[in-house]
Structures are given as structure tokens and as C-alpha cells.
Chain A
Amino acid sequence: MFKRRFWAIILILIAVLIGYFVYSTNGVDSSKKFKLGLDLNGGVELIYKADTTGIAAADISGKMNSLKDLIEKRVNLFGVSEPIVQIEKVGIIGEEGYQQLIVDLPGQTDIDSAKAQVGKTYVLEFRFPKKELENSTSTLPVTANDFEATGLTGALLQKATLEFNQTTGEPNVALQFNKEGADLFAKITRENVGRPLAIFLDGNMMSMPVIREEISGGQASISGGFLGSEGLKEAKDLVSNLNLGALPIPIELISTQSVGASLGQEAVDASVRAGLWAFIVIAIFLVLWYRLPGFLAVISLSIYVAINLALFKLIPVTLTAAGIAGFILSLGMAVDANILIFERMKEEMARGRELGDAVKEGFARAWLSIRDSNTSSIITAIILYAFSSTPVVKGFALVFGLGVLVSMFTAITASRTLLLAIKHDHANKVLRFLFNSGANK
């Protein structure tokens, strides 16, 4: 008896500690606060379809990954907290599947600027002035129309770096082409010594140096015009923009979603309120109907809540309104194992078993039902998770599945330990009353 009570106390202490962990890590700057989805936090979600036509099947996943890295870099530049960029392969039966890129920007509310920044392409081009304008002194070639393409573009760039002129200290942007780019650059410079070559960024001319000799290493630099602190910043921006470069795969926006921050906060408040009241209503029902065991079930339900919330933080699970609904639903279902056990206990008592035996038998016999029925719920959760097309449903499935697993655990450990820790004096009428419940035939 003493040993059982000892374990019961240890169990409650651990639960209190878990509860304290959940409570104490809710501060604004805590690394373990709840992760909220876009619908609760407010933010923008953009889904792009990647146009992979013309790309060899073997190259697609590599290119998709570099696309993802690139978009991640861009999104990180924007200063949104914890942006999420993910690739998803979408298959529609009977049709060719496609790759999509999902970009979540929590806290961002301006869809238009989000779209502009994510989908922006920086076009770097090297162009020759048109022959007829080259030697004219009256009209200087300025606009893109005055030039013709060389085929050398930012797509052939390996990287750009910021450098400083040894003598003047002025910043310039050094360009390193990849193999293909270096070969083309060498060919262009070899064949056009003495001609000016203009560097265009997004259709604007940056500079127009004159080719003095063949350049074979694939290196070039953009200099001039980067003056003062403004110029330094400009050069730095240019370097990062060039490195972010052109997208390896063209993308097309197919879905946007934005949730205002105020709406998110409303949903959080409503969810928390609903969760709290659901718990209270279930607790009242359990205590009224099952008396003492009902009260113990409420304690084990509290342990269930504490463990679940701690798991949400530790895994971490991104909570959405649907996810919280799943959790509230699982509160109701978590009680089921307890109810199965209590009903079985009551039957055993009605058959004339001693209170203590009835408790043990009740557990033993209810276990099969608990196992079988929960397994089917877990199957549902797994299928939901694997086949859902939206993060909303995925979030729900994860919370729901987790809830079912934890509820099995708390039913066979917490409820059992607590019930066994109570002194089972069969002669005690009060205790017998407390162990009986509502509908006794």
C-alpha cells in the first residue's frame, strides 16, 4: 500500500513539474513557447507552382532544392521571424504531378510586398552598344534599346563579392563566372577588344568599361559610381542581390493566404477559452457521474493535458485553430479509457468482487478494448497526416494522433496508479458509495 502511494505521489510531482515547465516557458523571449501557425499568428502564405518543363527528371530535385535555398535567403533578408519554406511534390492521379514551393511568412501582413520580394528576379546582363551608336559622339547609348545582348547573363554567375580599390579605397563588385560563363566571357572579350561592354542590372546600366584585352579567368568587376556611405550600401545590396540571382526554375503563384494579426489573436483567445471550458465541463461531468474515480480521472486528465502541452513545445508542433480543435476533441476521447475502466470495475463489483480486486480486474479487462479502439484512431490519424494536402489538416492530424497515444499512456499509468493508491476497504460504506456511480441497476 505504502509503495503504491509513494508512486502516486511521485507521479503527481512529475506532472506538476511538467505543468510548471509548460507554464514557465510562455515568456515572449522563451525559446520554448508555443509555435503558432499562420492562422493564429497572422501572416502570409504563398504557394508557387514550379515550372519544371524542359528540365531533365533527374535534375528536378536538385534544382528545386537550390530554388528553396534561394527563396529562403530572400525571405531571411526580409527580417520576418521564423519563415518557413518547403517543397512539396503534388501528384494528381491520371495527370502529371508537379512540384510546389510553400512560403510561410508569420507576422507579415502586406501580401503585395511579400509577393514582390519572394518572386523578385534580378536580371544581370552584359550588353554591347549597337554598332551605329558606338562611335557617335553626339548621342551616347543609354537605354537598353541602344544595346544588343551578348548571351552573358547573371544565370552564368558563380558568385559576386565586395572588394575595395587598393588606391582609392572605393568599393567595387567583383564577379566570378562559372565554367560556361568564363568561356563565353573569354570569347566575347577576345573578339571585341577596344569595344565598350555595358553591364545592366534589371534594365538599368550600371557601368560601361572598355575591353582592353581578352579576359580568360572568368572574372569581371563593376566599379565606379559607388561613392560615400550610400555607395557602399548600394554595392553591398548589389552583391547580395547578384548572389541571390535569377531563380533556377520559373515559379508561378497559385495560392495566397493572409491573416491579419488581430484575427489571429481573436482565434487564439477563443481557442484557449474553449479548451478551458471544455476541460471544466468534462471534469464536472466525470465527478458527478463517477464520484471518487471520476475525481481521479480528472487528475489523470490534467496530467494528460500537461504532457500534451509539453510535447507541443518540445517537438515542436505548430499549432493552428484546427490543431487546437483536435486537442479539445482528444480531451473528450482521452476520458474514454477511464470510462471503459470504471464501467468494467462497477460490473466486477456488482458480481460481488472485493473493491481492490474489482479495480485490478476492471483494468485488465478494459485494456483489450482500449488497445483495439485506439489503434483504429491512430490509423485514422496516420492516413490524415500522410494524405492531407493542407497544413491545416496536417496540424490537426498530428495533434489528434499525439493525443490518442498520450491518452493511452495516461490511462494505464496515471489512472491505474491513482486508483490503486486508494485504500480499498470493502466494508467501508462511504468508500463503496464513492466508487459507485450514476446508473446502478
Chain B
Amino acid sequence: MWIIKNRKIFYSLSIILILVSIVSLFTWGLELGIDFKGGSVIEIRYTEIKPEVDLIKKNLMAVDQSISLGNYTLQSIGETDYSIESRLVSDQERQQIENAFSNNGEFKTELKKVNSIGPLIGKEAAQKAFISVILVLLCIVLFIALVFRKVSKPVSSWKYGLMALVALAHDVIIPTGVFSILGHFKGYEVDTLFVTALLVILGFSIHDTIVVYDRIRENLHHSHKDNDKKTFETIVGESVHQTFIRSINTSLSTILALVVLYFIGPEATKHFSLALIIGIAVGTYSSIFIASALLVTIEKCQKRG
């Protein structure tokens, strides 16, 4: 009950987080990965000795002056690797970059990973990512309106869908904002896997929200049958309370799995699992504290109006 009663506190917390995210998105934007903007990523591994970063920087500067690598970034990974992200380079140009890393053969290197993506593919990926997010949102609202179509009093079923949508927008904006901040300070990039993470967050959060809404539907039905004159606010409060432990525990077990993946999983899915951890935490919060509370707010507005 305390959840619904104190809903204004929870609303404020969410609004603050959303504002911070939006401000960050507008001032710093997102660091796009090469799968969206096109370009090349080359990862070099040293089989014997890894040279100092200053030497590599100096060599790369020379390469940059002759063939211009665009806005390139050099990163040192672990004790054996370097990675460089640049504009799309050709095979000959890649050879020059490899020579810069090996200091013309002085250090033994091997190509750990090469990834070159033309601008065409990036454009397509960005567009598809955008379409899938919109499509998932749309399908979910329709699905909720359909599943809850028998619920009409006191709040009609499409409003359940709409409120779920508000909660979902909240769940997408906050992790994106966090990645905008991380992108600015630590160079974290947003790639197709990040968008996948967002879609999973949507699925997970709606999963949570539906469980609570399901309970509201059931309790409304009971209350109507027993004719116990409970207010909508009371029923929603009870429903949230009844599903509270379940929501926390499910999220907890999922987050546990993701934390394990983040710390000991492969390098390739580190940022992916981080995005999921943030999103699922935020999504659980919104399912418990926001989505259902919004129903009560709507019902109050209807009464007043």
C-alpha cells in the first residue's frame, strides 16, 4: 500500500532520472559504434612484447598524416592488445596501420579482429533498429489492450496499454541516458547489441507489468463479485503488494545471471550485459512503482473530470 500512497515520491525520482538522461542525450549525444556509422575496427595482439602507447601514437600520427584516418581512437586492451577505430580503410591502408603497430616488423603482432563496415550497412542497421523498437512498442500496447479487453471499469483496457507504454518509454530513456553519459566520459559505444538490449528490456519490463496488471484484473473481478466496495486505489495497492516479492525475485535472479555474465563473460557482451542490468533494474522499478500507480492517477483524473 505504501507504494501507491507515496506515488508522488516515486514519480519525482523517475522524472529526475529522465530529465538527467534527456539533458545528457541533448548535450553529449551517443557515441555510435561502427555498425551504425560505418568504419573499421582493428584489434592487434602482440605475441611477445607489447610496446609503449607513446610509440604507437607517434607511428599512427605519421600514418594519419599520409592517408588521414579520420577521427580515429586508439585503445589499449589488457596486457597484450591494442584496438583502433577509424574511418573505413582499404587493405593497403590496413597494412600501413599494422606496420605502425609492429613498428615496421620490430614487434611481433597478429590480427586479432578486423571489422570493416561500409556506410550503407550502417544506415540500414540504424533504420532497422529504429523500426524494431517502434514495432515492439506498438505490438505490446495492442497485446495488452487485447488481453485486458474485458476490463473496462473503472479504467478502460487501452489505458492499461497506454500506461504500460509510458513505463516502457521510461525504461528505454534511462539506460540510453546512462550510455550517453558513459559514452562521453568513458567512450562507451552504442551498437546493434545495445539496441537488442533495449528490446529485451522492453520485453522484460512489460512481462513484469503484465503480471501486476493481471493481478489487478483478478482482484477487480473478486471485488466486483464480493461487492465489497473497495476503491480502485485500494485494489491496485493490494495487487502491487501481492506481486511485489515475485517481481523483485524474478529480476534478482535475472540480474544475478547478468552480473555473472558481466564480470566473467566474454569481452564482446560486457557492455550488452551492463545495458541489460541497468535496464532490468529500471524496468522492475517502473513496473512496481510507476505503471500501476499511473492507473490510479488516471482514475483520479477521470473522477475529477
Contact = CB atoms under 8 A, between A and B. Distances in A.
Contacts of B128: 387-389
A249 B246 CA distance: 57
B121 interface: yes
Interface string B273-293: 100100000000000000000
A383 B202 CA distance: 12
A257 B192 contact: no
A168 interface: no
Which secondary structure dominates where chain B touches chain A? helix
Which label, helix, strand, loop or mixed, suits the secondary structure of the A interface? helix
B276 A256 contact: no
Interface in A71-94: 90-93
Interface string A270-281: 110110011001
Nearest to A386: B132
B246 A278 contact: no
Contact of B249 (A258, A289, A387, A389): A289
A439 B266 CA distance: 36
B193 interface: yes
A263 B250 contact: no
A282 B214 contact: no
A202 interface: no
A376 to B, nearest CB: 5
Nearest to B202: A380
Given A256-B114, A383-B199, A328 B214 contact: no
Interface in A249-279: 254-260, 262-263, 266-267, 270-271, 273-274, 277-278
A285 B127 contact: no
B45 A322 contact: no
Contacts of A198: none
B196 interface: yes
Contact of A332 (B110, B139, B254): B254
Residue among B214, B215, B266 with the highest chain A CB neighbour number at 10 A: B266
Contacts of A393: 192-193, 195-196
B174 interface: no
Contacts of B195: 393
A123 interface: no
Contacts of A439: 245
Contacts of B76: none
Interface stretch (A13-21, A57-65, A334-342, A421-429): A334-342
Interface residues of A, number: 74
Given A322-B193, A329-B254, A343-B246, A387 B131 contact: yes
A349 interface: no
Interface stretch (A128-136, A147-155, A366-374, A409-417): A366-374
Contacts of B147: 372
Contacts of B272: 322, 325
A328 B257 contact: yes
A389 B125 CA distance: 6
A396 interface: yes
6 contacts: A90-B124, A263-B113, A331-B257, A343-B249, A372-B210, A389-B121
Interface of B: 35, 43, 45, 91, 110-118, 120-121, 123-125, 127-129, 131-132, 135-136, 139-140, 143, 147, 192-193, 195-196, 199-200, 202-204, 206-208, 210-211, 214-215, 218, 242-243, 245-246, 249-250, 252-258, 260-261, 264-269, 272-273, 276
Interface of A: 39, 47, 49, 90-93, 98, 109, 111-112, 115, 254-260, 262-263, 266-267, 270-271, 273-274, 277-278, 281-282, 285-286, 289, 321-322, 324-325, 328-329, 331-333, 335-336, 339-340, 343, 347, 365, 368-369, 372-377, 379-381, 383-384, 387-390, 392-393, 396-397, 400, 438-439
Report, nearest first, the 5 A-B pairs whose CB atoms are least far apart: A332-B254, A380-B203, A254-B118, A274-B265, A270-B266
